[in-house]
């Protein structure tokens, strides 16, 4: 029996009464409906949720995505990306260390950006009895709805360039953390022109589709005007009235709907405190 409790005003809900590894087809459809309505859902106490079950659930939600940083995938489970600041016995990072500590929508630079992301807490950093490493989410649909009519009209039809290979202001220095991309990885992630406003593929809501992690310019605008408009939109999306802050607990699985959200990891911890998460995702349609 699904019980859904709202966590934030604009987005976020906790689902109780389910075990993710045991969902039937009706359960999957109910889960999708909750995601379309609440954008981000948390299912707690999934301590026995195995990597194989994680992958199986992802495939039931859609076409599974293979991330470009395939050197950080879970051994024997290439579908699972590891996000971690842990170091192995050879001194190598076992996962993506920084956990994207800037506002972004997952793989917004791809032709078919992600639809659902599924993130499972494996190890959480704790200091003085407090769990660190929260994740912030923003509703890009609520942010669009709150725009003035004049701004909506101004943005209608505009496009922006999303780039994985060009480092925006908030991503400066990330190359040192993640390592340089190979030429093959660069070739797989060319710059992509995306609409500034996208329509959600399931519920038809309009959503802002710019983010400070990957949007580098608005097409057909002078450089200064493009930069000013992007900064205005970035600030607007991060307004607290559109956001939800998730405080992780052991056993949490968090699933979110990328077309309607952005997120940002909080980097308030460092070694010897460790944070390790497993992430899978499904590919979405071409944004329109």
Instruction: Give me the catalytic one of 38, 162, 263, 275.
Output: 263
Q: Look at residue 186 and tell me whether its pLDDT is greater than 90.
A: no
Which pLDDT belongs to residue 188? 78
Look up the CATH number of the domain holding residue 162.
3.60.130.10
Which pLDDT belongs to residue 169? 61
Structural domains counted in the chain? 1
Q: Which domain holds residue 155?
A: 3-283
**Is 104 among the catalytic positions?**
yes
Please indicate, yes or no, if residue 31 is contained in any of the structural domains.
Answer: yes
Q: Look at residue 181 and tell me whether its pLDDT is greater than 70.
A: no
Instruction: Give me the catalytic one of 106, 192, 246, 257.
Output: 106
Please indicate, yes or no, if residue 288 is contained in any of the structural domains.
Answer: no
**Is 279 among the catalytic positions?**
yes
pTM for the full predicted model: 0.93
- CA nearest 259: which of 153, 101, 144? 144
pLDDT band for position 175 (cuts 50, 70, 90): low
Please indicate, yes or no, if residue 101 is contained in any of the structural domains.
Answer: yes
Is the torsion defined by CA of 173, 270, 96, 57 positive or negative?
negative
pLDDT band for position 71 (cuts 50, 70, 90): confident
Please indicate, yes or no, if residue 40 is contained in any of the structural domains.
Answer: yes
Please indicate, yes or no, if residue 20 is contained in any of the structural domains.
Answer: yes
**Is 263 among the catalytic positions?**
yes
């Amino acid at each position: 029996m699904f019980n859904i409790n709202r966590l934030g005003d604009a987005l976020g809900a906790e689902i109780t009464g389910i075990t993710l590894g045991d969902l039937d087809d009706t359960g999957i459809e109910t889960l999708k409906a909750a995601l379309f309505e609440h954008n981000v859902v948390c299912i707690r106490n999934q301590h026995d949720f195995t990597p194989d079950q994680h992958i199986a659930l992802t495939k039931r939600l859609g076409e599974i995505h293979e991330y470009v940083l395939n050197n950080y995938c879970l051994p024997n489970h290439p579908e699972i990306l590891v996000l971690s600041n842990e170091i192995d016995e050879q001194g190598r990072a076992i996962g993506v260390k920084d956990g994207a500590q800037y506002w972004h929508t997952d793989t917004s630079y791809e032709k078919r950006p992600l639809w659902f992301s599924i993130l499972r807490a494996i190890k959480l950093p704790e200091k003085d009895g407090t769990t660190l490493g929260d994740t912030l989410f923003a509703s890009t649909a609520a942010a669009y709805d709150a725009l003035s009519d004049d701004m909506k009209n101004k943005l209608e039809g505009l496009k922006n360039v999303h780039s994985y290979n060009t480092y925006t202001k908030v991503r400066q220095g990330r190359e040192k953390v993640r390592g340089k991309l190979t030429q093959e990885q660069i070739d797989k992630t060319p710059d992509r022109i995306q609409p500034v406003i996208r329509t959600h593929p399931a519920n038809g809501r309009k959503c802002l589709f710019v983010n400070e992690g990957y949007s580098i310019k608005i097409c057909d605008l002078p450089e200064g005007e493009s930069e000013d408009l992007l900064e205005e939109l970035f600030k607007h999306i991060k307004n607290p009235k559109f956001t939800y802050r998730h405080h992780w607990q052991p056993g949490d699985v968090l699933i979110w709907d990328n077309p309607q959200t952005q997120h940002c990891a909080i980097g308030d911890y460092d070694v010897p405190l460790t944070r390790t998460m497993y992430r899978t995702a499904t590919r979405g349609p071409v944004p329109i």
